[in-house]
Amino acid sequence: MPPPTARRPRRRLPVALLAAALGAAALGAPAPAAARDSADSPASGGSYLVGRGIADVTGEAAETGMMGYSSFDQKTSGIHQRQRSRAFVVVDRASGKRVVYVNADLAMIFQSVRQGVLARLQERYGSLYDEENVLLSATHTHSGPGGYSHHVAYNLSVLGFQNGTYRAIVDGIADSVAKAHDDLKPGTVSLGTGTLTNASVNRSRDAFDRNPAADRAAFPDAIDPAMTVLRFRQGDQDAGAISWFATHNTSITNRNTLISPDNKGYAAYVWEHGHEGVRHLDDTPGFVAAFPNTNAGDMSPNLNLKPGSGPTEDEFENTRVIGERQLDKAREIYDDARPVAGGVDSRLAYVDMEHVTVRGEYTPDGQEHRTCPAVVGASTLAGSVEDGPAIPSFEEGMRTPVAGILDALRIDTPSWLATCQYPKASLVPTGLLSKVHPVTPKILPLQIMKIGELHLVAAPGEFTITSGLRVRRTVARQLGVPLDRVLLQGYANAYSQYVTTPEEYDAQNYEGGSTLYGRYTLPAYQQEYDRIAESLREGTVLDAGPTPPDESGRQFSLQTGVVYDNPPAGRAFGGVLKAPEASYARGEKATAEFATGHPKNNVRRGSTFLEVQRLENGAWVRVLDDGAWETTYRWTRLNGLTGTSKATITWDIGADTAAGTYRIVHHGDAKNLFGKITPFTGATGSFTVK
């Protein structure tokens, strides 16, 4: 069937559907001789300087839209676990070159975040850390506050830009890098690989099956089971690990409104907190365990191919199980990792992805093709039914707070653009709209980072496993290294939705409909990464390309701030509204309620809204906080007119909890009519755990 050539009549789209469409997004062979700079030496403590750092990036914990599922109804109402940024700095002692790798418990790294973090680092370190040697990546949790992009498409369901969340993320990432910088010590880097086959499933199998047999043969079970682990040591002390594995960080569904880093965050927390004794609020250097994603575009953790299902029917239990499976495999690989040699280096170029001429050597038919101005496809409306339910029907004319903005953005897709994007059924031509206001990005950062023998292809989107494979093959061939020494690091440095193969694109499933720049998006990436890899291999200076604009001055927010807070009549802030029971057995749940203020008054970055304290030698000692898996902090508005709200704190008392005397403490902040914000603390009476 030939592509469409006629201009289609204009249709009015239900506002909620259009918003959903815009906001939906996600040891083998030895190293080559050229990479063997110098072997690790006990006398020198290793050929690298290694530093690690971790910091809080948790944003606004109440009445802020959440990023990932594009649901107007999913707004934060508290914290299950805090979000963290984990940073590693590696310096080649021979050449003096250094790189920064960051993985944060976020849905995406937007260009806005990258610009903000680089500005912070420049303030602190001048040109030491710059666009080329800093790689920022996200775990892709869908259970964090949103509104931190500078592009309208990713802020719509959040009701615009949320400065409090943006500041927490930028400041937290910059702090994690600063801690890693201050922590630099002589050390070694080791590499290990393995496979994990029970933590992912292909959610777009019919599209995957369209790929050539040679590609499908690389993934016999239609999943990417590879896990790659970098182990870092400082002298004779373990310092941290980065464990890459491809699975969506969506064990928790869009029914949830508590902030959570999901399955990958759970894995990181248990390794740090449970195995290494790290206590994040102590703010002292300790083991850092990052669990980043790779090419997870079509990889779901929901093993039964429906939200919140698989391996159990409890979404939080699934989070724990899928996280634990990643953790157990990572620790197994970590123990067998072998030291690597080779320097560190990086290259980055900005590419206008809407206007790439792709040479025939990268296209399936051997002919030259072009990418297109961004278009969101109609199939995006279906959502990924395995991870996020399809959008239910809405009545024509339905109004939302962003209806006026959407009305202004509605334009037809011209026939030339529909032809370029064929066979996509074009819904929203965001590339054309971006000429008026930033809707989706067009100039994207493409980066390759080398850490010893491992090469990270930093990709600003969600690549399917076959898309990732083709990029990795291209880069490995150019660099002359084994394929398992090249990883596709997804969700890195910016975000531009999905990248499918041309064959997968033709299926126009959710992932294909969300591939913004047309059928030849992936070949364009292969061509540009090939160019970058050549520069890295030859050691040449790379043309940086066009600089993305700073859109910080063009932001809007329709989300109201906090007007004022009041405690319930006869109570003070921090007062106990519901006390715990006098005693509990292990396995039971302790609950307390407090009069509180709005969490937006202070996100308490690097701190906590709760503590579980134990009485030890006559003093109360913190044993858990709001970053712990066992606790939850939930905020509830009691009366919007009077500004009254409560905090509900729960503690699931684990089987290994020490017997003793405990209490629950709540920290909060209240705003008066004159705008003054005052911190407060409340505590329950004591209770026992037997």
Which residues are part of the catalytic machinery?
A: 300
Contacts of 606 (CB under 8 A, 6+ apart): 55, 56, 172, 175, 281, 283
Q: Would you call 352 helix, strand, or coil by DSSP?
A: strand
Write out the DSSP string of 100-167. EEEEESSS---HHHHHHHHHHHHHHHTTSS-TTTEEEEE---SSEE----SSGGGTGGGTB--HHHHH
Write out the DSSP string of 38-83. ----TTTT-SEEEEEEEEE-----EEEEEESS--TT-EEEEESS--
Whether the CA torsion 655, 658, 662, 666 is positive or negative: it is negative
Query: Two tokens at 229?
Result: 């682990």
Amino acid (one-letter) located at 554: R
Contacts of 501 (CB under 8 A, 6+ apart): 210, 211, 215, 464, 466, 467, 470, 522
CA distances 562 to 64, 164, 566, 675, Å, are 12, 12, 12, 9
Residue whose pair of structure tokens reads 């920064």 in the numeric block: 100
CA–CA distance, 178 with 182 (Å, rounded to integer) = 6
CA–CA distance, 341 with 362 (Å, rounded to integer) = 32
Residue whose pair of structure tokens reads 């086959």 in the numeric block: 197
Q: Would you call 242 helix, strand, or coil by DSSP?
A: strand
CA–CA distance, 240 with 276 (Å, rounded to integer) = 10
CA–CA distance, 668 with 684 (Å, rounded to integer) = 15
Strand (E) or helix (H) holding 622? strand 619-625
What is the number of H-type helices and E-type strands within the chain? 14, 34
In angstroms and rounded to an integer, the radius of gyration of the C-alpha atoms of the chain is: 25
CA dihedral 452, 454, 457, 463 (to 10 degrees): -160
Q: Are 346 and 132 in contact (CB under 8 A)?
A: yes
Q: Which of 302, 329, 330 is nearest to 317 (CA)?
A: 302
Beta strands 226-234 and 338-339, pairing class:
unpaired
Q: Are 442 and 497 in contact (CB under 8 A)?
A: no
Contacts of 307 (CB under 8 A, 6+ apart): 250, 253, 254, 315, 385, 386, 387, 388, 389
CA–CA distance, 440 with 517 (Å, rounded to integer) = 11
The CA-based angle 195-102-46, given to 5 degrees, is 75
CA–CA distance, 29 with 484 (Å, rounded to integer) = 9
Query: Two tokens at 78?
Result: 């508290």
CA–CA distance, 417 with 423 (Å, rounded to integer) = 11
CA–CA distance, 467 with 299 (Å, rounded to integer) = 12
Amino acid (one-letter) located at 512: G
